[in-house]
């Protein structure tokens, strides 16, 4: 069965397909829907964290909770997603967002590079790069 | 003098300019020349390292030594650089290279995402993402 193990499963998305889908969903502000592309074992890494907190969120429940906190606390005025650039199992995009951080009523121009890793058709790792 | 401190120096390259220059030089295989874009305090992070070795090289001398080892041990048949995607102080590119690892005479199709951070017109951080 060794030969068969190396054949891609018909239903499994390629890195390019996952990347294109993520860009399409995020461009429309459909961040919760984009999480359907994530593996249960997703690891999500921020550029930094407040003192005593971790940069890393592990597992779909933790990453969804982080996303829900973000969605609850930000009003999104516009989203621009550029890319993807795809190389093997990895891809990169940029996010440029005009948001208001609701607790402070503060409007922010966010810019970040995001890198993703895909395994078995699902996103297993994401890391965000932005100025602290 | 506070106002002046925040003015960009005329000779300082923007993130976009550094990114475009890096892509232009690397596309021509001019990897040593690309290192002129690096800060003396450059930190370079590989996706992984052999047991007992570090993923991280710190300082221009260490990063140049890593580059020289690479250039000495690889014959480059072709290089394709895609990008850059620029967001604030960061940018991402992909490298797709057809190389022969000379010590083993082994031809390899390398694919990686690279993320860079620019400060004061110089690259201060680079990280590579590829399958191990």
Can you give the pLDDT at residue A11?
Answer: 79
- E strand map for B48-131: 56-58, 74-87, 90-101, 106-119, 122-129
Number of H helices, E strands in chain B: 4, 6
Residues in chain A, how many?
Answer: 132
Tokens coding B93: 């590119």
**Quick one: tokens of B8?**
């960009």
Average pLDDT over residues A3-25: 82
- What pLDDT does A132 receive? 75
pLDDT band at A5 (very low <50, low <70, confident <90, very high): low
Partner A contacted by B130 (CB < 8 A): yes
Q: Is B24 helix (H, G, I), strand (E, B) or coil?
A: helix
**CA pseudo-torsion sign A23, B26, B129, A54:** negative
Q: What is the pLDDT of residues A95-121, one digit of tens each?
A: 999 999 999 999 999 999 999 999 999
Is the Cβ pair B85, A90 closer than 8 Å?
A: no
Q: What is the DSSP letter of B49?
A: -
- Please give the backbone phi and psi of residue B63, each rounded to the nearest 5 degrees, phi first: -70, -40
User: In this model, does residue A4 exceed pLDDT 70?
Assistant: no
Q: Which residues of B touch A90 (CB under 8 A)?
A: 112-113, 129-131
Closest CA to B132 of B75, B50, B62: B50
ipTM reported for the complex, 2 dp = 0.89
Residue of A nearest to B109 (CA): A88
CA distance B16 to chain A (A): 13
Average pLDDT over residues B46-67: 93
What are the phi and psi torsion angles at B107 (to 5°)? -85, 130
Task: Test A131 with B82 for CB contact under 8 angstroms.
Answer: no
CB atoms within 10 A of CB B66: 13
B9 has pLDDT over 70: no
- Find the closest chain A residue to B125 by CA distance: A129
pLDDT at B30: 93
Shortest distance between the Cα of B91 and any Cα of chain A, in A, equals 7
Number of Cβ within 10 Å of residue A19's Cβ equals 23
Q: Please determine, for residue B29, whether its predicted confidence score (pLDDT) is greater than 50.
A: yes
Is B117 an interface residue toward A (CB < 8 Å)? yes
With 50 as the cut, is the pLDDT of residue A32 above it?
yes
Residue A52 pLDDT greater than 60, yes or no:
yes
Residue of A nearest to B113 (CA): A87
pLDDT-derived band at B10 (thresholds 50, 70, 90) equals: low
User: Mean per-residue pLDDT for B91-103?
Assistant: 97
Contact A117 B95 (CB under 8 A): no
Strand positions, DSSP E, chain A: 38-45, 56-58, 74-87, 90-101, 106-119, 122-129
Separation in Å, CA of A84 to nearest CA in chain B? 9
Query: What is the per-residue pLDDT for B8?
Result: 57
pLDDT band at B1 (very low <50, low <70, confident <90, very high): very low
CA of B33 to nearest chain A CA: how many angstroms apart?
Answer: 24
CB contact under 8 A, B111 and A88: yes
Buried b (16+ CB within 10 A) or exposed e, B90-105: bbbbbbbbebeeeeee
Q: What is the pLDDT of residue A1?
A: 47
Average pLDDT over residues B29-52: 94
The overall average pLDDT reported for chain A is 93
Among A87, A111, A131, the strongest candidate for a mutation testing the B interface, having the largest count of B CBs within 10 A, is: A87
Q: Are B71 and B31 in contact (CB under 8 A)?
A: yes
* Percent of all residues in chain A with a pLDDT value above 70, rounded to a whole number: 92
């Amino acid at each position: 069965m060794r030969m068969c193990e190396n054949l891609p499963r018909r239903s499994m998305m390629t890195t390019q397909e996952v990347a294109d889908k993520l860009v399409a969903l995020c461009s429309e502000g459909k961040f919760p829907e984009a999480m359907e592309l994530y593996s249960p074992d997703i690891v999500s890494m921020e550029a930094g964290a407040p003192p005593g907190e971790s940069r890393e969120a592990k597992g779909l429940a933790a990453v969804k909770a982080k996303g829900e906190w973000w969605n609850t606390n930000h009003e999104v005025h516009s989203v621009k997603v550029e890319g993807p650039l795809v190389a093997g199992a990895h891809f990169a995009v940029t996010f440029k967002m005009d948001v208001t951080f609701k607790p402070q009523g503060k409007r922010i121009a966010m810019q970040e590079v995001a890198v993703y890793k895909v395994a078995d058709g699902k996103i297993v790792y994401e890391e965000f790069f932005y100025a602290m």
